[in-house]
Amino acid sequence: MPRLLYLITLVFFSASTFALDKSDVGTYGVLTKDQTSIGSVITISRSANKWDFYMKMKENGLWAQSSCEGGCELKASGIKNTHRMFSKEFLEEFTPDCINNKAMAFCRLKSEKYEDAYLMVALTTSEAIAMPLVKLSDIPKDDEALKEDE
């Protein structure tokens, strides 16, 4: 029994060590795989114990909340979703901490070899599509960050 309690404690503290936190709040530019801007900006914020995701397109200049038909609340990604988003080889090199709804995920990646990185992952197709992000500002919905990204 003490061994089981030890394992449960270890799993709990390991998971919470990499949890997304207030340092992840901010405005991010969406990049292509070759690290060039696609002209979209997202923002992640946290209020009242829930995460919020907004996207702003340069075309119309409006912030739109992530929307889908039901199941849109962002929650910590479980093992099943993590394995759906990332290959076994990827998970051997990176430790992702993600929040997701049924349409998308926002992830911080940790690695012993690299600096922390961020991804947005589209989950609406049979294969998850990851898009790199660059943090532009620690301020959610930072319109000045969008101007700097042009």
For residue range 4-26, list pLDDT tens digits in order: 333 333 343 333 344 789 999 99
**Does residue 65 lie within any of the structural domains?**
yes
For residue range 33-86, list pLDDT tens digits in order: 889 988 889 999 988 788 888 888 777 778 887 656 666 788 899 999 899 899
**Does residue 15 lie within any of the structural domains?**
no
HSE-up of residue 44 (Cα within 13 Å, Cβ side)? 30
**Does residue 26 lie within any of the structural domains?**
yes
Residue 125 clears pLDDT 90, i.e. is over it: no
**Does residue 133 lie within any of the structural domains?**
yes
**Does residue 11 lie within any of the structural domains?**
no
One-character DSSP codes across 39-67: EEEEEEEEETTEEEEEEEETTT--EEE--
Say whether 119 sits in a helix, a strand or coil. strand
Residue 5 vs residue 91, higher pLDDT: 91
**Does residue 2 lie within any of the structural domains?**
no
**Does residue 12 lie within any of the structural domains?**
no
* Tally of structural domains, the chain: 1
**42 touches 30 (CB < 8 A):** yes
DSSP at 74: B
Q: What's the domain range around 142?
A: 20-149
**Does residue 7 lie within any of the structural domains?**
no
d(CA 33, CA 99): 21
d(CA 45, CA 2): 39
